[in-house]
Structure 1
Amino acid sequence: MMQRLVDNFLAVTKESVKTVTYESLSNILRLINGLSALLLAILPGKANILEGIHGWELKPTFRGPKLPRWMEDGVSSFNHFIHELDYDSASSVDYSSGDDIDEYDDDCIYPATPLSARCHISRASSFTKRERSRAHWIISILKFLLIPLRLILWIPVYVYKAIFHRGARIHTTNPRRVQTSHAAKKALDHVVQRATDRRRGVIEDLHLGIEIFIETIFDGIHHAARCLLSPLDSLRMLLRWSSSSSSGSGKIPRNDPGVSVVTSTLADPDPTVTEKKSTLSTRLNIDARTCRDVITELGYPYEAINVVTSDGYVLLLERIPRRDSKKAVYLQHGVFDSSMCWVSNGVVGSPAFAAFDQGYDVFLGNFRGLVSREHVDKKISSRKYWRYSINEHGTKDLPALIGKIHQVKTSELKSSAKPDTEEPNPEQPYKLCAICHSLGGAAILMYIITRRVEKIPHRLSRLILLSPAGFHHDSPFFFTVIEYSCLWLAPILAPLFPGLYIPTRFFRMLVNKLARDLHNYPAVGGLVQTLVSYVIGGDCSNWVGVMGLPHYNMNDMPGVAFGVALHLAQMKHARKFVMFDYGSRAANMLVYGAPKPLDLGEHYNLIDIPVDLVAGMKDKVILPSMIRKHYKTMKEAGVDASYKQFEYAHLDFTFSHREELLEYVMSRLLQVAPGSKPKAMKLKRIETSLAK
């Protein structure tokens, strides 16, 4: 009697403490969110800054992207196969309610981009209603039928509940069919992952931590009270525990479900590494997917190639392979970015998947500059690793990456070619186009010009540059402050901050989780977005949303070397697109053979392939005037260049689903036929440039 009274008192007290704690924390968060909303309401220019950002703004709206017109029936044959695979697995389930697949919306029968919230709602809501209805009726029938059996055999309730749940998931004993069903569902789970994102932020972790703490405290009090009220039972339990532990020491039961065994496939060199990372990310509820995870979960093929540069940096070249295709495309990211940007918008909204669906062999490049410091020297110091500028991106990284592409494609196409057929160009039996964003655009231009100066083939057939860097003299005030800070304080800052990155796993995790909190509290997220946009000059890119993307996670994160920032400051100060200035005539003579660094803008006449320049009218990081500077300089040099502008901000070229941009990019790519020859420049211009 006394024990029951104490248990009831502790239970009521525990729930009361939980309720008071939760309500107090919730009220504090509501106050912070409310004050942020008030402050956001009086800030000027917030409408333009928050325009077009979905998922965390003050008035979120659900709207799925339209299917691009250049896609056959809105989806490729490969994605149609994935849909049919899912349909076959879904059809194996017996829908007792009589509903069929026709109740889905016609627009949502194929896998869409993860941002397609409307498709997610139409799929998830109908599926959930049918499952709940069917589950309710089956449980009721089973309960009624099993009443006599329970009375006779005293079968516990949890037994047939477990049987029901297992049977509801698997209606067949064929392991191959079950494996196929799980594979199809896994491929489609990623499609709606952003709309059903269950990652926890810092606030949610705080809620969970408080609950665990309260449970632990009251559990200890409960055990202490039981020991005091029932000392004989406690002594008997202690003796039983000590005897069982002494008799079972040193022996492992064979069929013990608590024993975990590490398993791996034959190809895994170290299965514990992957298992440890996935377990940790699951426990912390963070999105630690890699580009490989995104591609394979959507059902596309994947290949990873390690590339070593001439100075020892290990780069990751990722591929969505079409080995027999003579059309290849290379995609290069910008600063503080990785190859994830080309696949982060799902099947419909990502340039990488769009190019693959049009028959291209897709290669995704990654510059040097990760916190993991991939290098042949495993003990390389942080200061030595981050000692590079844009020069190394254009003259070390890209030659190694594109050289590896040439090696792979040449080997594959020659091995698959028929003996009686002749290639139009035996040295390069394929056409390679490049799509580059921001810093990647400046690096690819540097790569082409330096290769032409050295009279080495660059292997490219066309460039599509999305808001490329290079010219920066017209820029917001914030970049002017960075310019003079880097130029004046370079001797002090370079040794102290060799790279701009988050060095520890804890703070990388914290940034990723804070981005989730800013999503959950729209007013706070809107305020942070507005302030960041003010600093950058009014660019309305979703800066807060990008922080929560998978490649900004605790395991690894792209950074930027101080030398890259200094190089950009030198370009802005010189008002020219120049290579890195090493600070003295002697150093420049040693590298360039001239007292000043090479002016790339003056050598645009060496570019012998078509170049498509794309600018964003709302881009405040690289203004449209600077893209027009590229275009004007190229046209004066006789380059086959085109100019196009859209109503985009800087990150909209990669992290936002833009149908018109994908249409334009694909139309540019499709102009390069596998058997065509690039437009040759006049020999007189080339000889004049080389003489300079």
Structure 2
Amino acid sequence: MATPIVIANTVVTLLLTLMVLNHFQLVEYDPIELAVNEFQKRVYYSQIDGSVMAPPETFMTVPEIIQSRGYPLEIHHVVTEDGYILELHRIPKSMNEPANTTENIKKKVVFLQHGIFATDFVWASGPTNGSLAYILADHGYDVWMGNSRGNTYSRKHKTINPDSEKFWDFTWEELGQYDLPASIDYILKTTGQEKVSYVGYSLGCAIFFVGANLKPDLNDKIDVMIGLAPTSTVQVLNNVFKLIAPLSNPLRYVLRWTRTGLFLPSDGISSRLLRFICNSSQIGSATCQTFNFYVFGYSETTNTSLVHVLCGHYPAGGSPKTMLQFFDNYNSGGNFTRFDYGETENMERYGTVEAPKYHMELVTAPVYLIWSTTDPVSTPQDIEWLATRLGNLKGSVKVDAPVFSHGDFFMSTQVSKLVYQPLLKMLPPPF
């Protein structure tokens, strides 16, 4: 037992050090500017031995990536009920469609929601025939991609400065109660549609379940919800977070002591260091692949070039409480609960000593689950728990592969065949 404890303490120490460093690294995103300027490229992405060439999309914003593929792009901004300004990216049609196609035909809307500390890069940075955003657009859908508050693209508020702690005081609760309803309502108003199809990945599924609990009318605006590697209880973990999660209470105290707001941004010191290592040499590239496996799980089909792109975009920043809630669910022993503020504040907020549980039977929108037996984050045990409690489960589909990791849902060379093609059959027709 000594070795795992030493490893866990070492990981947590490093994590806390990086959090303190990242606390002072806040750079506001401007979609007009390049993600990384030439000076930063020279300083942080010099190749030590000349053997590694990071893909250009490592240094590009998501809008730049989409436009570089030849797809039309719209950037929309949504204001939530509590004042956060979210950036949505829309691909209204395929690159091959005539300019006036969308004027006369109402296409079916598909909304894509990323996971924890990510952005919509997960839908748009793979090969064109292997990225869900482009596949959907090529099949005739109107594609909208969300960005949760606090990430690279949604780091603004009507009145609160992102440099303040108050800006970062949010949990899964706010992502589901405010961000999703605001985004969905905006899309419905803009497109004139009555319902949208929802595809979530990892935490993008959990916050949908939260939204369906706290804003029940959200269910009525969704014709189908498809959960890719869905998280909820996180009762079983088989990656490095299994060692860190039991130490969530010390983490909580350190976060308060350091007054940490912004957590693991892509423009922080730790993220830049990781990108430098990844792009420095063959050894550095292999190191990042190992890091990828520790976090997302072992894979036999990972697109190795996407590991570099991953390091260029992930983690994208967020609230420390979103990670703590992830750990709380694991430590609760199989519950899917609201954020635990401690006995005193729980009584003030919820009227109970313990944080209340979310109720899956309140998720009445039609739901499909797509999952893998070797996913270390969204494990078969969690899928079984979820599938037996959802209020309107239409299907639970296991990925037809002996090895398929959590990251493979957007980084595998086989993801189109194994996940996206089956997903298309679950969606309503595009017209």
Report the counterpart of residue 376 of structure 2 in structure 1: 620
Residue by residue over 1:632-665, the C-alpha shift from the partner in whole angstroms, topping out at 9 and shown as x without a partner, is: 223xx56434333343101110123322211111
How big is the alpha-carbon RMSD for the aligned residues of Structure 1 and Structure 2? 3.2
Q: CA deviation at 1:382?
A: 4.4
Counterpart of 2:114?
333
TM-score, normalised by the number of residues in structure 2 = 0.76
Name the aligned partner's letter for residue 275 of structure 2: N
AA partner of residue 205 (structure 2): G
After TM superposition, list the pairs within 5 Å mapping 1:343-382 onto structure 2. 343-370=124-151, 373-377=155-159, 379-382=161-164
Larger radius of gyration: 1
Match of 2:49 in 1: none
In 2, distance between residues paired with 1:272 and 1:468?
30
1:438 to 180, 202, 212: 202
Kindly tell me: are residues 530 and 557 of structure 1, through their superposed partners in 2, closer, same or farther at Cα, counting changes over 3 Å?
closer
Tell me the SS of whatever aligns to 1:461: strand
Indicate how the Cα distance of structure 1 residues 355 and 514 shifts in structure 2: closer, same or farther if over 3 A, else same. same
- Give the one of 263, 275, 282 matched to 1:500: 263
| Mapped pair 1:576 → 2:339 | no
Are the counterparts in 2 of residues 296 and 302 from structure 1 also a CA contact under 8 Å?
A: yes
3-state secondary structure, aligned to 1:274: coil
**What do the CA deviations read for 1:265-315 (whole angstroms, capped 9, x no partner)?**
xxxxxx997389655467666742111112112221110001122222221
Alpha-carbon distance in 2 for matches of 1:319, 1:272 = 14
Which residue matches 2:229?
467
Calculate percent identity across the aligned residue pairs. 26
Deviation at 1:394, TM superposition (A): 0.8
Letter in 2 for 1:482: I
Alignment of 1:383 with 2:165, yes or no, is: yes
**Which letter does structure 1 place at the counterpart of 2:308?**
G
> 1:458: Cα distance to partner?
4.5
Is the CA contact (8 Å cut-off) linking 1:328 and 1:430 kept in structure 2? no
> Who is 1:599 aligned against?
357
Give 1:400 shift. 1.4
Say yes or no: does 1:644 pair with 2:398.
Answer: yes
User: Match for residue 188 of structure 2?
Assistant: 406
Cα distance in 1 for partners of 2:406, 2:270 equals 26
3-state secondary structure, aligned to 1:492: helix
Partners of 1:332 and 1:526 lie apart in 2 by: 29
Give the superposition deviation at 1:482.
2.0
1:459 CA displacement: 0.9
Aligned residue in 2 for 1:291: 62
Relative contact order, CA 8 A, sep 6+: which one is greater? Answer: 2
Per-residue CA deviation, residues 305-357 of structure 1 (Å, 9 max, x unaligned), is 01122222221111011543241100001112111110111321111111111
Name structure 1 gaps, 5 residues minimum.
1-270, 411-428, 675-692
1:560 alignment counterpart: 318
CA distance in 2, matches of 1:274, 1:484: 41
Matches within 5 A, 1:662-677: 662-670=420-428
Closer, same or farther: CA 326–449 of 1 in aligned 2, 3 Å: farther
SS in 1 for 2:355: coil
1:516 equivalent among 264, 279, 287: 279
Q: What's the offset of the Cα at 1:440?
A: 0.6
Alpha carbons of structure 1 residues 597 and 475: separation in structure 2 relative to 1, 3 Å: same
Residues 493 and 277 of structure 1: is their aligned pair in 2 closer, same or farther, counting only changes over 3 Å? closer
Deviation at 1:529, TM superposition (A): 3.3
Query: How far apart, in 1, do the equivalents of 2:362 and 2:229 lie?
Result: 21
Structure 1 Cα separation of the partners of residues 303 and 240 of structure 2: 16
SS of residue matched to 1:633: coil
Q: Does 1:610 align with 2:372?
A: no
Q: Tell me the alpha carbon deviations over residues 462-490 of structure 1, each in whole angstroms, 9 at most, x when there is no partner.
A: 11101111121222374343222113442
1:486 maps to 2:245: no
Paired residue for 2:50?
Answer: none
Does the 8 Å CA contact 1:288/1:550 hold for their aligned counterparts? no
Classify 1:515/1:275 alpha carbon distance in 2 versus 1 (closer, same or farther; 3 Å): closer
Q: Unaligned regions of 5+ residues in structure 2, if any? A: 1-29, 46-55, 94-101
Q: Deviations over 1:580-629 (max 9, x none)?
A: 122125x33544455543322xx322222221111122211222221122
Q: Which of 266, 276, 285 does residue 525 from structure 1 map onto?
A: 285
Paired residue for 1:448?
Answer: 212
Q: In structure 2, do the counterparts of structure 1 residues 272 and 536 end up closer, same or farther at CA, with 3 Å as the change threshold?
A: closer
In structure 2, the CA distance between the partners of 1:537 and 1:381, relative to structure 1 (3 Å rule), is closer
